[in-house]
Structure 1
């Protein structure tokens, strides 16, 4: 019975044709080089996008005066911008999965720039809701998401440092744009200011052009005697037949022997015609070899991988895994027997076809694409070589995906987009109490997150703080955010420090500080509050992916983040309008800050039992999976 593999041309070939068939490409982060240019470009994208969003509160007062609107009516202008900047995250990530970071960033820059420029002609606040808020927010998301994700694609050993440097652009942008926006409004008016913002957003086209795809290295079989090759092929086929229980499997379209094909049919765990990404095998499961380098970590890193690889990998066709077998496979992964015991060699300076590079480099097919911390925290990384880790976290593309890429088919919703959406919007996660707590906590955090950015200046001026000082309050939050991200990264990397407790203490501190921020309107007191608030929200942003990995698992990180973005987007959408409505009712910002601080404090309180609930949930799942006698 012939066994087939995917070649570099994505054609079916028999194993017997060793010289031409047994080769494939593998994406390995360069961990430097052009990656530092990508970090700088990502920094600038965050600088522009977050700088404009977090200084958006400066625009509200002049807009309110021109259209004679109330605080509650004008608040959605900036909250819609911030809300859709997060709400569109899953959909933008799916587009980036298909078309790449560079294209999505450039298109997003054009969309948001056009939206801001057209806002110059606004005739009502409702006009600004749609154009400036909704369209501008979607465009900003198309810049922000690739800028954040592409850094992790370029770095392995230095990922935490690179991600931290890139995200510091948010704090620097807040520091610069807050006084800049006020100065522009005073000199030119709010309409000209949004046009200048539009021109600055166009710079992201240049920065996005720097997000070039990583050229994969080619992994191919080393030359071996023909008798050894034939014998090992026969052993592999026998082992494959004993391992794969094909009769109950869904044919995912992953390349399989022709006589083993099944008709594609609807199954309980598929929608939009594809399955959740975790249902597809990882490259490690498919290409696992006999060399122990794949299962035990050595001194090899991404920077030396191209010169030091002797890792057996192979493209074997398997169907989508059922959940129970998938979990069993994951639990026994390190002890699994190799499928094809063949040594390989790496060919450097390969220039594969662009379509194949795009297929290999699907970012949302990786489990760790949203992880911004140090990979040294992950047992999946420390127990494997660099190549072994990348095989472990990468899920393979399907035959349909490969055909669409190779033939250049134009579809309204390609498989790479559908599969990413199904993964990012995995509602089955709501069966997990731990996930529900983290998600709802994130929603309440964002309800209170943007209120200080939008109203701290207006409140200070209302209570007699000088204009020069009040303008710099938002800038103080930005500076504290930079320091907080760096400090949080250092502290959370300490073995004895719990990321959960660090997150809870930070949010509790930020919430309490917001609630008591109106006790005194002395300049020193107000600046002190802004510094404390900036430090606390920096911890929230830095620790979210680490908490998911620790309490839910790396394999579910991509699934979790899609729903996190939706819930956080709704929180950002509602928070400022609630504060504005309270201002209209009470004629004071005090209640708005009490409520937003309460939201932050409540989000922290919700997370205190997460450790206990997570352990209970894992023991329950383990008990449920134990065979009944």
Structure 2
């Protein structure tokens, strides 16, 4: 006898909310609700499993992509082409590793971290497996260069970003531990590759890499979806609405959300990227905190109970498969219980939480092996701090979110609300297709060219372009240069290992120093010293001198990844981090594309000395360009402030 399946129970508690509507010109002109979508970090627990998985993903990824120099000589002999042409294969892959960052980020926003990491694993494994059978140059360029590079980017963005969503206060530590996998991979894989190439050639080594990328498929499974909360604010007063206008500036939008009259606000025309991707960037949307607090400020300032219209905030908890685990349910209840009842009565707010509980309890083994699908409502890249790798306590957004909330009314979600951009109901409803609003909006955000109008940002981006022209050269050519100079092969196999070790030390130490010192100056000094050491790397081929050069170079180039987000936030603020990172990745990718082919050509015509001097010179020039950036940025701010005053007058 069949029995009906038990339906999941619904737990309804009560939060603050009101409908925020806007005429969305990009979605047929219909009014659309704007909701707040936030992700609740676990701050430990399974998050440490994610850190370990991300570490090994980066270990394999950078251990393969940045040790191409160990395969170079054997590939040149096998393919019978020049080393500059062979070096182009890896340059294309590493270039796409950076350039495809906005596209990979958009897919993460649509499909989640786990699906993108696993897809990248499949693409890389397939591409390298096909490369094993390639007998001429063209297939290698297509599969080892282009397709593998796209897979590299999916893995890099997924493993590099997912850790930050599992932690808040321990975020900088967790990210630092995960990213040292990159340095450990370079340190370990280079001598291993050389040994395998000497035994069986580059093809067999590539076959091993194929299997290693296959393991990322299983590592990516650990990137479980987090609890996602949708907050929508409604009110009993139907006349009170907030209208979102895509043509208004960000300042005007914030004024609209807070209920302030819009006076003297100039209209801005849609940018090229808005037309290109049929979406507007995150900067045009209010934060989740602004959506929730809209309409509450006035009643909060009145003494005693409010007699105005009641505001309701409905918070819907989305768990995988529509169910929320008992642990997550307790977490949500804890958040609600921290909100003062007296405070809610004073502000005339009803607090409602809708939660779909899991239909049954699962044992430890069942929970471990249970497949949790991507939560379609989750929009991780709508957060302003998605690319931030420093301490969140140092962010003005974090400090303000803590100061603006009374201790009785704190829920633990203040920071998430302050950095998460609002999402339209139409966006949340799009659960099918590839190029949905979730994809197009991230592309519009990361590739918005508005920052290119700033001279200071142009200098910063061009500096990244120049630095990355010189960055890859030691990784690819150092071993062959020192071998041709007569150094023992046993030492040549360890030089890149020393660079990898020093890189890990540099990431940790420079990241820690950036808390106390100006990250812009620190970044410039690191690039300068890395470039100077490369220019002076062939003064002598004494083995200890070469080890010293490798340590100095590896230590200072560690700043290229660990300080990038800190530099951007220092100059342009957290709300421009996603946009600036997208543009910086493009410039760094184009620099990587020119790097080793140019060095190979210089080496063929003038020798290794010239190629390394030129590579170091590019890094030095890139560092010197950064010196006036801070002053130029101050002038730009003063000019903008003056224009703002003139508009108000």
Structure 2 counterpart of 1:417: 439
1:201-260 alpha-carbon deviations (Å, 9 max, x no partner): 100001111111102357799xxxxxxx9xx733xx56x45x65879779xxxxx9xxxx
Question: Are the counterparts in 2 of residues 220 and 345 from structure 1 also a CA contact under 8 Å?
Answer: no
1:382 aligns with 2:399: yes
Question: Are the counterparts in 2 of residues 217 and 348 from structure 1 also a CA contact under 8 Å?
Answer: no
Structure 1 counterpart of 2:548: 528
Question: Are the counterparts in 2 of residues 176 and 475 from structure 1 also a CA contact under 8 Å?
Answer: yes
Structure 1 counterpart of 2:455: 433
Q: For structure 1, which segment, 82-91 or 356-365, has the greater mean C-alpha deviation from structure 2 after superposition?
A: 356-365
| SS of equivalent to 1:490 | helix
1:347 shift after superposition: 7.2
1:398 shift after superposition: 1.8
RMSD: 3.3
**What is the alpha-carbon distance in structure 2 between the residues aligned to residue 29 and residue 46 of structure 1?**
22
**What is the alpha-carbon distance in structure 1 between the residues aligned to residue 247 and residue 491 of structure 2?**
68
**What is the alpha-carbon distance in structure 1 between the residues aligned to residue 62 and residue 556 of structure 2?**
17
Structure 1 counterpart of 2:173: 161
1:125 shift after superposition: 2.1
Question: Are the counterparts in 1 of residues 128 and 207 from structure 2 also a CA contact under 8 Å?
Answer: yes
Structure 2 counterpart of 1:344: 351
| SS of equivalent to 1:344 | strand
Change (3 A) 1:115 1:202: same
| SS of equivalent to 1:608 | coil
**What is the alpha-carbon distance in structure 2 between the residues aligned to residue 431 and residue 304 of structure 1?**
45
1:71 shift after superposition: 2.2
1:271-299 alpha-carbon deviations (Å, 9 max, x no partner): 2221111112221121116489x99xxxx
Aligned pair partner of 1:201 in 200, 213, 219: 213
1:545 shift after superposition: 0.3
Equivalent residues, number: 548
1:544 shift after superposition: 0.6
TM-score by length of 1: 0.81
1:22 shift after superposition: 14
1:605 aligns with 2:624: yes
1:540 shift after superposition: 2.3
1:233 aligns with 2:242: no
Structure 2 counterpart of 1:624: 643
| SS of equivalent to 1:202 | helix
Question: Are the counterparts in 2 of residues 288 and 312 from structure 1 also a CA contact under 8 Å?
Answer: no
| SS of equivalent to 2:570 | helix
**What is the alpha-carbon distance in structure 1 between the residues aligned to residue 444 and residue 245 of structure 2?**
24
Question: Are the counterparts in 1 of residues 36 and 421 from structure 2 also a CA contact under 8 Å?
Answer: no
**What is the alpha-carbon distance in structure 2 between the residues aligned to residue 515 and residue 143 of structure 1?**
33
Structure 1 counterpart of 2:161: 149
Structure 2 counterpart of 1:456: 478
Change (3 A) 1:421 1:218: closer
**What is the alpha-carbon distance in structure 2 between the residues aligned to residue 50 and residue 246 of structure 1?**
44
**What is the alpha-carbon distance in structure 2 between the residues aligned to residue 22 and residue 418 of structure 1?**
17
Q: For structure 1, which segment, 37-46 or 339-348, has the greater mean C-alpha deviation from structure 2 after superposition?
A: 339-348
Change (3 A) 1:22 1:577: closer
Change (3 A) 1:355 1:117: closer
1:123 aligns with 2:135: yes
Question: Are the counterparts in 2 of residues 220 and 344 from structure 1 also a CA contact under 8 Å?
Answer: no
Question: Are the counterparts in 2 of residues 220 and 347 from structure 1 also a CA contact under 8 Å?
Answer: no
1:431-487 alpha-carbon deviations (Å, 9 max, x no partner): 112211111111111101100000111111011110000010000000001111111
Change (3 A) 1:309 1:492: farther
1:91 aligns with 2:93: no
**What is the alpha-carbon distance in structure 2 between the residues aligned to residue 23 and residue 436 of structure 1?**
35
Which structure 2 residues correspond to residues 396-415 of structure 1 after superposition, within 5 A?
396-405=422-431, 409-410=432-433, 412-415=434-437
Change (3 A) 1:583 1:67: same
Aligned pair partner of 1:540 in 560, 565, 570: 560
Structure 2 counterpart of 1:274: 279
1:430 shift after superposition: 0.7
Change (3 A) 1:486 1:341: farther
User: Which structure 2 residue ranges, 5 or more long, are not aligned?
Assistant: 1-16, 22-32, 250-256, 258-267, 302-327, 341-345, 360-370, 403-411
Structure 2 counterpart of 1:61: 73
Question: Are the counterparts in 2 of residues 310 and 343 from structure 1 also a CA contact under 8 Å?
Answer: no
**What is the alpha-carbon distance in structure 1 between the residues aligned to residue 244 and residue 231 of structure 2?**
28
**What is the alpha-carbon distance in structure 2 between the residues aligned to residue 547 and residue 348 of structure 1?**
40
| SS of equivalent to 1:32 | coil
**What is the alpha-carbon distance in structure 1 between the residues aligned to residue 113 and residue 161 of structure 2?**
8
User: Which structure 1 residue ranges, 5 or more long, are not aligned?
Assistant: 7-20, 222-228, 251-255, 257-265, 296-301, 314-338
Change (3 A) 1:248 1:156: closer
Aligned pair partner of 2:512 in 490, 509, 512: 490
Change (3 A) 1:606 1:305: farther
1:397 shift after superposition: 1.8
| SS of equivalent to 1:384 | helix
| SS of equivalent to 2:43 | coil
Question: Are the counterparts in 2 of residues 310 and 344 from structure 1 also a CA contact under 8 Å?
Answer: no
Structure 1 counterpart of 2:94: 82
1:582 aligns with 2:602: yes
Change (3 A) 1:173 1:291: farther
1:428 shift after superposition: 1.5
Change (3 A) 1:219 1:148: same
**What is the alpha-carbon distance in structure 2 between the residues aligned to residue 135 and residue 25 of structure 1?**
34
**What is the alpha-carbon distance in structure 1 between the residues aligned to residue 348 and residue 455 of structure 2?**
42
**What is the alpha-carbon distance in structure 2 between the residues aligned to residue 145 and residue 220 of structure 1?**
30
| SS of equivalent to 2:558 | helix
**What is the alpha-carbon distance in structure 2 between the residues aligned to residue 112 and residue 365 of structure 1?**
28
| SS of equivalent to 2:547 | helix
1:593 aligns with 2:596: no
Change (3 A) 1:350 1:525: farther
**What is the alpha-carbon distance in structure 2 between the residues aligned to residue 206 and residue 192 of structure 1?**
23
| SS of equivalent to 2:180 | helix
**What is the alpha-carbon distance in structure 1 between the residues aligned to residue 248 and residue 97 of structure 2?**
39
Question: Are the counterparts in 1 of residues 232 and 292 from structure 2 also a CA contact under 8 Å?
Answer: no
